[in-house]
A and B are shown apart, each in its own frame.
Chain A
Amino acid sequence: MNKAAFIKNIQKSQIIIISAVITISSVVLSSCRSAEHYKSKGETTEIRIKVDGIRSKNGKLMLAMYHDENNFTKNLRPAAAVQRMIFGKSTDVVFKGAFSPGEFSIAVFHDEDGDGTMKTSSGGIPLEGFGFSGNPPLSRGKPGWKETKFTVESGSHSETIQMIYID
C-alpha cells in the first residue's frame, strides 16, 4: 500500500472526528441554558401523608410510595421515598410532583436502632414498627397491592397511616 495515500486517509478521518466533536459540543452547550428563567407549567398532584401513633423519637422513619404493583411486591424502585427524623407522636410527609394519575401504595417502617434495615425475629415477625396505606388488617402476613392501594387523579390527596408495633 502506498504510504502517502494512507496518511491522507488518516487526516481525512481526523477532520471528520474534529468536526463531529465540535458540532456535538455546540449542540450540548446550546441545549443547556441557565435554568433561572424557567417557570414550571403543568398540573401537579400533592399527596399529604400523616403517620400516626409513633412510639418513640429514636431513629428514623422510612417511608416509600410505589406507583406499580410489581415494584411494591418486590420492594424495588419507589416512585418517591423519605427517610426522616421524628419529633413527635405523628409526622407529616408531603410528596408534590407531576405524578401520572393512577393507583399508589405506601409502606412505612420505624427504624428505631438506626441500622437502616427492618429487624425481624427468626420466625419473620417484625420487631420494629410498621404501617401501610389503607391500614389493612394483618391476618394473613404482609398485605398485598389490592389491600393497600389508593387512587389519586389530580389536585391534592391526604392519607393517614397508623403505625403498628408487635413486641
Chain B
Amino acid sequence: MNKKIVFGLMIPAAVFLLNCKSAKTQDKDSNTYAFNPENRGELILKIHGMNRAKGNFMILVIPENKSGKTKFPYQKTAVAALIIPAQKKITEVIIPDLPYGRYAVAAIHDTIRNQKLDFIMGFDPSVGGVLIPILPNWPIEGYGFSNKKFGIKSVLKPGTPNFKKTSFEFSENQHTEEIHISYFWRRWGIPYIGSIIAVLSLI
C-alpha cells in the first residue's frame, strides 16, 4: 500500500481521537446552579413541530451556572430531560416543580427513535469535528431552541447558539415558552445536494 495514503488516513483519525478525549474531560463539571430552590413554579413548553405525529421529542432544560459559563446542550447539567411522543403540529410539555431562575431549552425531534440527533456523515460533529467543504456534516433531524433561536449561522454551518442568546427568565407560577423546531435538512439540505448532483451531472 502507498505510504502517502496511509499517513493521509492517520491524521484525521488522530484528530478524531483527540476530539473524543476532550469531550470526555468535560464530564468534570461542578454542580453550582444560580437558581433558588425554594420558590418553584410550573414551566409549560409549546413545541411547534412537524405536520404529522412521528417519533419522539427529546428535551433538555438547562439552568444557568453560577460562574456565568454554562455549557449549553449538555445532559449532565440539566434540571430536567424528557422524552415525549411527538404530536401533530403542537406538542405541549409540562414541567412542574421547577425553581425560579434563568433557563434555556434545547429540543430534538427524534424521528427514528434511536435517542440521538442523526447527522448525514453518521457522527456528531461535537465529538469529531471534521468538515468537508462540499458536504458538511448536517443534522438530518429537526432541532430547536428556546427564545426563537434556530442555531443556523449559515447554510454550510448549522450549529448551536450559546446560552445567553437562548435563555429566558422564569419567575412565575405558570410560564409558557414557545419553541420552534427547524427542519434544516428538509428545507436546505436536500435542495443543496440536489443542485450539486445536477451541476456534477452537467459537467
Contacts and interface: CB of A to CB of B under 8 A. Distances in A.
B49 interface: yes
Nearest to B48: A35
B99 A87 contact: yes
Contact of B96 (A38, A40, A94): A94
Contact of B93 (A14, A21, A77, A96): A96
Contacts of A78: 83
B interface: dominant SS: mixed
B89 interface: yes
A78 B56 CA distance: 10
Given A17-B201, A77-B113, A25 B194 contact: yes
B111 to A, nearest CB: 13
Interface string B175-192: 000001101001100110
Contact of A28 (B91, B93, B190): B190
A120 B157 CA distance: 45
A81 interface: yes
B51 interface: yes
Interface size class of A (residues with CB under 8 A): 35 or more
A92 interface: yes
Given A36-B180, A80-B83, A87-B99, A24 B194 contact: yes
Contacts of A88: 97
Contacts of A148: none
A35 B87 contact: no
Nearest to A61: B80
Contacts of A80: 82-85
Contact of B190 (A25, A42, A87): A25
Q: Which 5 A/B pairs are nearest by Cβ-Cβ distance? A: A38-B89, A21-B194, A40-B90, A94-B94, A84-B80
